[in-house]
A and B are shown apart, each in its own frame.
Chain A
Amino acid sequence: MAAVQDGQMELDAEKETKPEILSDGTSNLSGNTASGTLSSSPLTAAPAGGAPKMEDQQTLIAVLQFLKRNKLTDSVEILRREAGLGEDQEDSQATDGSGGGKGDVDGGDANSLLSRVSITSAAAPQSVIIFHSIIFFYSYRFGKVGGADDQPDVSVVLSAYSQQGDPSLYQVYYSGLKNFIESVLDCHRAELSQLFYPLFVHMYLELVYNNHENEAKAFFEKFSGDQECYYQDDLRVLCGLTKKEHLKGNEVLLDFRTSRFVLRISRDSYQLLKRHLQERHNNQIWNIIQEHLYIDIFDGMPRSKSQIDSMSGSLAGEGKREVNKAKVFHGLLKEPEIEVPLDDEDDEAENEEGKPKKKKTKKDSLGSKSKKQDPNAPQQNRIPLPELKDSDKLDKIMYMKESTKRIRLGPENLPSICFYTFLNAYQGLTAVDFTDDSSLLAGGFADSTVRVWSVTPKKLRKVKSAADLNMIDKESDDVLERIMDEKTASESKILYGHSGPVYGVSFSPDRNYLLSSSEDGTVRLWSLLTFTCLVGYKGHNYPVWDTQFSPFGYYFVSGGHDRVARLWATDHYQPLRIFAGHLADVTCTRFHPNSNYVATGSTDRTIRLWDVLNGNCVRIFTGHKGPIHSLAFSPNGKFLASGSTDGRVLLWDIGHGLMIGELKGHTDTIYSLKFSRDGEILASGSMDNTVRLWNSMKAFDEVETDDFTATTGHIHLPDNSQELLLGTYHSKSTPVTHLHFTRRNLLLAAGAYNSQ
């Protein structure tokens, strides 16, 4: 029912917005301009599910008002019904809640409403799956698409710039500060230099906003060269902005405005700066610092230039220290006990190896290890996980058997790499995935197709048609074999359904499903038994850059151009969680091995870790200098590796929330990262046609995480990339799109041959 409703809402929204688009051509080029303003964290925090308490009620009323204003009556209805709210209640609230409702005031009001939502919902207890938030978000989205509330919000955001200073003095102010910073002691200079970039941007925008186009250009030309090279991409965007009209509807700008740029500065340096600005009565700069920057002051030694450089580079400065303080349960879940009939096991083992004794002891040792509860592990039922099916158990047994044959990797014992080259992929290979047991391979292509290959001699077969299935004896032992249609056996199958390039593919752990995400804004679930599309998950509306199944199946996560990542369950057509907070496209999404967390990488050059349980952002990692295109968790769940367009791999300690390593060597975007099954080796594959192997064990061991570094977050990164690099393997003009370690630690790589 709700799906239908969805469509209606969409239609309604469309209808309404049409005339507005016409009347207001300038603001509306981009549909999602408002997402920056509105999609900050409150949206994710869900209001409580049960009977609404007083504060929740207020929240709801606020939401309802918001919806009403945007004429989303359907959603109002639903929400009201769900919450059991009377119309009068809301009306009474509404009258005292909002004043007029025109122009800027209107937008400001919406904002205040939203902030109320955030405050109340943050306090609300969080439960498992709630639809209110979703409905709320939907209606919010459609409201947004219309762009009706676009305009006022932008104005509100920008109005902060309306203060008038003498435009000609901006250069003087800036160079005055520059001179000051250059004259201070070396130890403070590096820290205070962090101010340059945010100040530069804000001053430039202020000039532009106040229609001082020529001064703005002059200002830009004079000082843009001073900025750190890693901000160049942003500067390129900025330099295009020369008119006030451009400011409306520019996402980058809104990011900059809505999120305060975070700087970490030691108390001494901060005092120094403050004293200087007060002496000079340099109000212009002081105002900007007060209003637009967030200065995270810490006690102790100022940081060195290299320390600062390693952490900076993101769109909105470093993460605040407190955001990384939350406890993250990074341990692994206990392996489920699998009761296997002993004789069965013996039989199999004997057949295969002829030494059942050894096998059993091995298995016992594995079992006993997993019985010890990891203190860092989340509770087994922290999030509900699907029940294990018989076939899953069989697979687990296979997995254990395979892992006994696993090769122990290390610097002296490097893995073999098997490279799967896609030939004749003229249309462009955009995504690849292997199944965990390495039997299937899926490729997403720019021509909207998804192709599945079997890389073992076993061919891909469809299930027989319903009529044929009826004739099968369901009691027979090989019923699973009988339902397959031999006539359809082939090495590869093509899945048609998307209407845009497929940017992400992911197999379900049980190999029955395949997910694909595409430019057309949908995530599709395909059955690998019938090779047909089962569900199209709509929600992103903009290109979906990545998707991945949870390691336990059932859940999956997707992230896209609309700057949010969504958590879905395969049997729900709407997302269970919306992880909002990134300031730019979510480019890659990965599940933590215990499925309780999701990591997302973004074009805003940050990595965020989200708690699946409550949708909170629990970690923000900054330090990359380019959009992040690959992420990988270590098998023990403690560490995270990330690769970006700048060709560097960064290693993170999740528990402490620290950067612990930097691997330099690649010369182009890293599209793929993978840890070996034991976590000893990290493999990275890049656009520069190489696969590199890194000694991740050594990288993790060498990090000293004493209390001081843990609390301040200051790290000294040893520059030891060359020592950690174990091997470089060039392919023949084939960018490495995907890497995968088989259960026996053979490395599989995949990419499309590029004939030019």
Chain B
Amino acid sequence: MAEERRQKLCSVILPTESMKAMAESVGVGSLQEDSCLALSEEVSYRIKEIAQDALKFMHHGKRRKLTTGDIDHALKLKNVEPLYGFQSQEFIPFRFASGGGRELHFYEEKEVDLSDIINTPLPRVPLDVSLKAHWLSIDGVQPAIPENPPPVPKEQQKTDSTEPLKAVKPGQEEEGSIQTKGQGASSAEVKGKEKMRMKPRSTHELSVEQQLYYKEITEACVGSCEAKRAEALQSIATDPGLYQMLPRFSTFISEGVRVNVVQNNLALLIYLMRMVKALMDNPTLYLEKYLHELIPAVVTCIVSKQLCLRPDVDNHWALRDFAARLMAQSCKTFSTTTNNIQSRITKTFTKALLDDKTQWTTRYGCIAGLAELGHDVIKTLIIPRLSVEGARIKAVMDGPVVSNIDKIGADHVQSLLLKHCASVVAKTRPLPDMVDQYKVDYGYLGTMLCSHVVKARAQAAFQAQTVNRTTLTITQPRPTLSVSQSGLSTSSGSRAPSIIKVPSSLTLMSTRPGTPTQPSPPATKYIVMATSAGAASTQQVITLSSSQSGSPVTSTVPSTPTSLQPLVKLESGNTGAVSGSRPLQKYIVVSLPSSSSSLENKSSSVLPSSTSPISMESAVKLERSESPAANTQSH
């Protein structure tokens, strides 16, 4: 193979067309073929020479990647002026263009509007170089601390669990590290190695430190101090040395769920699910071996009849949603042809769903669990059931008041169904959306579904239009589930402020209603969010502009005023307020610390009157993408 490459190298020279193109670019009109050939050979040779010199600078710079700086230094060696304007540390994208029988590669430099740069908030100042010391090895043994790579790499764990036969052969590095543990290091080395291969390599005895750590972590995870819990979860999610403790953690979780389901201790269940989430987030762990304990625990939290003492007040729905998402995630990650997790889980859910006697809570869990598995599952398993479920909901809603709990349950199931089915139906069902037709197809839920689908469609069209035009930077905190005692919801804590990207054209949006000649799409959406770590509050601002609305409206959804500070001042003045002659625009500011339900309620109460359905949809979507960071007692 090397030979082939070498031969290729030998014959590679720049095409003569390039020479022509370059000659033209400096004003030499017609270049003879011979000259082109001579030039291209010469140029190719020089380029190779420079590249070889540049390689030296790369080696001495102790890098693996050749940078533009290396090329500059190599040119300097040859007394050639370096190339200016290529100062990127990273890959410089050359773009390709062709036309008129010409092919060109060029470096695209976009024109930059200075005012954009001026208006953009300054980026964070890069941190200065700093020095950090840690123990790479203590008396020949590498300690399992976050600074060191995990003792057993994830790949290894994976092969261990999925292909136990292969796993007996440790790699070369493994042998090295085994030797360092002092077993068979000296004369009988070879024998020692053989012996090691026979032994199972994951020891289940924990060192004193590990036992202490385990105790601390588990206590913090289920304790009352939220700050400690956040720290502990952070540790679980990032610490590379947890491999050996994994069996203990998984037992802890499964036992914990078993006990607390019986006691209906919602808070603890939520804590345990957050632990599962953290374990799954840990990039160094491969949980496959422990799914037999974790999955029943998670499924319990999805479908259990009762998860809390006051089902009418407590928000156990959020827990079900969260657990369902976890379930979907583990299905995605660990489902293989041998364990068939996804199909087994799907069967379980479907079976419960089909049962008439299933309680509303369990029904909700089943639907949530299925819905999280993806669009296909929704299409094949939930949508056909819509009419049946609709009838059931109708019976509760319109029928004699049986109990408040049932009513709440039915209500939740209804909104869940609508939420998940709308987008799928929007994709699969052909236009037009006739309410009557929907009623025929989906029964009781048809009417509402229809309006949801309309919104979903509008939303999709809207996104398709904007996708080419604006870069949308959305940074969202990972879904977290928290229980707030004080009513002030706390996010997971020490998350760095996310990037604030104020769209460059915030003030330049020119969406003239009623001028169809203008190709620019009528609406651009920006989401600006920031999480301020100190106040432990999430602020999120969604600005939305749409040309459809006749008058600029700013609808602000207020919530707990203590933590609410909209980041972007949004102007709602009439034409010519701040944006001068700008057309009407509408911004909606949504700040998130409010509970999801209140958000939904309020937005649904405010928005329909004042805004187009698009914004409504976005609010709904937002609510979905956010964590159920909700107050559990909000209902």
A residues at B contact (CB < 8 Å)? 28-31, 217, 220-221, 224-225, 229, 232, 235-237, 239-243, 245-246, 250, 411-430, 441, 443, 445-446, 451, 453, 455, 492, 500-501, 503, 519, 542-543, 545, 561, 585, 587, 603, 627, 629, 645, 665, 669, 671, 687, 691-693, 722-723, 725-732, 735, 737, 747, 749, 752
CB distance from B182 to the nearest CB of A (A): 7
Asked if A445 contacts B129 (CB within 8 A), the reply is: yes
Asked if A731 contacts B149 (CB within 8 A), the reply is: yes
Q: Kindly report which residue of chain B lies nearest to residue A238, judged by CB atoms.
A: B10
Q: A731-B148, A749-B136 are in contact. Are A426 and B126 (CB under 8 A)?
A: yes
Interface size class of B (residues with CB under 8 A): 35 or more
Asked if B6 contacts A501 (CB within 8 A), the reply is: no
Q: Is residue B142 within 8 Å, beta carbon to beta carbon, of the partner chain?
A: yes
What are the residues of chain A within 8 A of B77 when measuring CB–CB? Answer: 30, 542-543, 561
Q: Is residue B452 within 8 Å, beta carbon to beta carbon, of the partner chain?
A: no
CB distance from A199 to the nearest CB of B (A): 18
Q: Kindly report which residue of chain A lies nearest to residue B139, judged by CB atoms.
A: A416
The list of the 9 closest CB pairs from A to B, nearest first, reads A414-B140, A728-B176, A225-B3, A417-B136, A419-B136, A417-B137, A727-B180, A240-B48, A239-B10
Asked if A446 contacts B131 (CB within 8 A), the reply is: no
CB distance from B34 to the nearest CB of A (A): 14
Asked if B46 contacts A29 (CB within 8 A), the reply is: yes
Asked if A424 contacts B128 (CB within 8 A), the reply is: yes
Q: Is residue B213 within 8 Å, beta carbon to beta carbon, of the partner chain?
A: no
Within B121-179, the residues touching A (CB, 8 Å) are 126-140, 142, 147-149, 172-173, 175-177, 179
Q: Is residue B11 within 8 Å, beta carbon to beta carbon, of the partner chain?
A: yes
Q: Kindly report which residue of chain A lies nearest to residue B64, judged by CB atoms.
A: A687
Within the complex, which residue of B52, B136, B139 is in contact with A237, where a contact is CB–CB below 8 Å?
Answer: B52
What are the residues of chain A within 8 A of B9 when measuring CB–CB? Answer: 236, 239-240
What are the residues of chain B within 8 A of A239 when measuring CB–CB? Answer: 6, 9-10
Q: Kindly report which residue of chain A lies nearest to residue B132, judged by CB atoms.
A: A421
Q: A221-B7, A446-B61 are in contact. Are A727 and B139 (CB under 8 A)?
A: no
What are the residues of chain B within 8 A of A665 when measuring CB–CB? Answer: 172, 176
What are the residues of chain B within 8 A of A519 when measuring CB–CB? Answer: 57, 73
Within B67-115, the residues touching A (CB, 8 Å) are 69, 73, 77-80, 89
A492 CA / B129 CA spacing, docked (Å) = 10
Asked if B129 contacts A422 (CB within 8 A), the reply is: yes
Asked if A411 contacts B2 (CB within 8 A), the reply is: no
A686 CA / B481 CA spacing, docked (Å) = 43
Within B1-52, the residues touching A (CB, 8 Å) are 2-3, 6-7, 9-11, 41-42, 44-46, 48-49, 52
Within the complex, which residue of A31, A243, A503 is in contact with B45, where a contact is CB–CB below 8 Å?
Answer: A243
Q: Is residue B624 within 8 Å, beta carbon to beta carbon, of the partner chain?
A: no
Q: A30-B78, A224-B6, A669-B59 are in contact. Are A416 and B135 (CB under 8 A)?
A: yes
A728 CA / B175 CA spacing, docked (Å) = 9
Asked if A603 contacts B7 (CB within 8 A), the reply is: no
Q: Kindly report which residue of chain B lies nearest to residue A409, judged by CB atoms.
A: B140
Given A224-B3, A752-B62, output 19 extra A-B contacts at Cβ < 8 Å. Answer: A29-B46, A217-B11, A236-B52, A243-B42, A246-B45, A415-B137, A419-B147, A422-B130, A424-B127, A424-B128, A428-B63, A501-B57, A545-B60, A587-B60, A726-B140, A729-B136, A730-B148, A730-B149, A737-B62
Within the complex, which residue of B128, B136, B176 is in contact with A725, where a contact is CB–CB below 8 Å?
Answer: B176
CB distance from A154 to the nearest CB of B (A): 16
What are the residues of chain B within 8 A of A241 when measuring CB–CB? Answer: 45
Which of A236, A425, A671, A729 gathers most chain B CB within 10 Å?
A: A729
Q: Is residue B376 within 8 Å, beta carbon to beta carbon, of the partner chain?
A: no
Q: Is residue B186 within 8 Å, beta carbon to beta carbon, of the partner chain?
A: yes
Q: Is residue B201 within 8 Å, beta carbon to beta carbon, of the partner chain?
A: no
Asked if A412 contacts B62 (CB within 8 A), the reply is: no
Q: Is residue B341 within 8 Å, beta carbon to beta carbon, of the partner chain?
A: no
A243 CA / B49 CA spacing, docked (Å) = 14
Q: Is residue B185 within 8 Å, beta carbon to beta carbon, of the partner chain?
A: yes
What are the residues of chain A within 8 A of B48 when measuring CB–CB? Answer: 240
Asked if B131 contacts A421 (CB within 8 A), the reply is: yes
Q: Kindly report which residue of chain A lies nearest to residue B151, judged by CB atoms.
A: A730
Asked if A732 contacts B148 (CB within 8 A), the reply is: yes
A671 CA / B63 CA spacing, docked (Å) = 11
Q: A414-B180, A418-B134 are in contact. Are A243 and B148 (CB under 8 A)?
A: no
Asked if A243 contacts B177 (CB within 8 A), the reply is: no
Q: Kindly report which residue of chain B lies nearest to residue A239, judged by CB atoms.
A: B10
CB distance from A291 to the nearest CB of B (A): 26
Q: Is residue B189 within 8 Å, beta carbon to beta carbon, of the partner chain?
A: yes
What are the residues of chain A within 8 A of B2 when measuring CB–CB? Answer: 229, 232
Q: Is residue B248 within 8 Å, beta carbon to beta carbon, of the partner chain?
A: no
CB distance from A422 to the nearest CB of B (A): 6
A240 CA / B9 CA spacing, docked (Å) = 8
Within the complex, which residue of B63, B73, B135 is in contact with A543, where a contact is CB–CB below 8 Å?
Answer: B73
Within the complex, which residue of A242, A417, A425 is in contact with B135, where a contact is CB–CB below 8 Å?
Answer: A417
Q: A430-B62, A627-B59, A732-B147 are in contact. Are A453 and B131 (CB under 8 A)?
A: yes
Which of A229, A411, A415, A429 gathers most chain B CB within 10 Å?
A: A411
A423 CA / B189 CA spacing, docked (Å) = 38
CB distance from A326 to the nearest CB of B (A): 31
CB distance from B179 to the nearest CB of A (A): 7
CB distance from A441 to the nearest CB of B (A): 7
Asked if B45 contacts A423 (CB within 8 A), the reply is: no
What are the residues of chain B within 8 A of A587 when measuring CB–CB? Answer: 60
What are the residues of chain A within 8 A of B137 when measuring CB–CB? Answer: 414-417, 691, 727, 729, 747
Within the complex, which residue of B10, B49, B131 is in contact with A455, where a contact is CB–CB below 8 Å?
Answer: B131
Q: Is residue B197 within 8 Å, beta carbon to beta carbon, of the partner chain?
A: no
Q: A418-B134, A423-B132 are in contact. Are A727 and B177 (CB under 8 A)?
A: yes
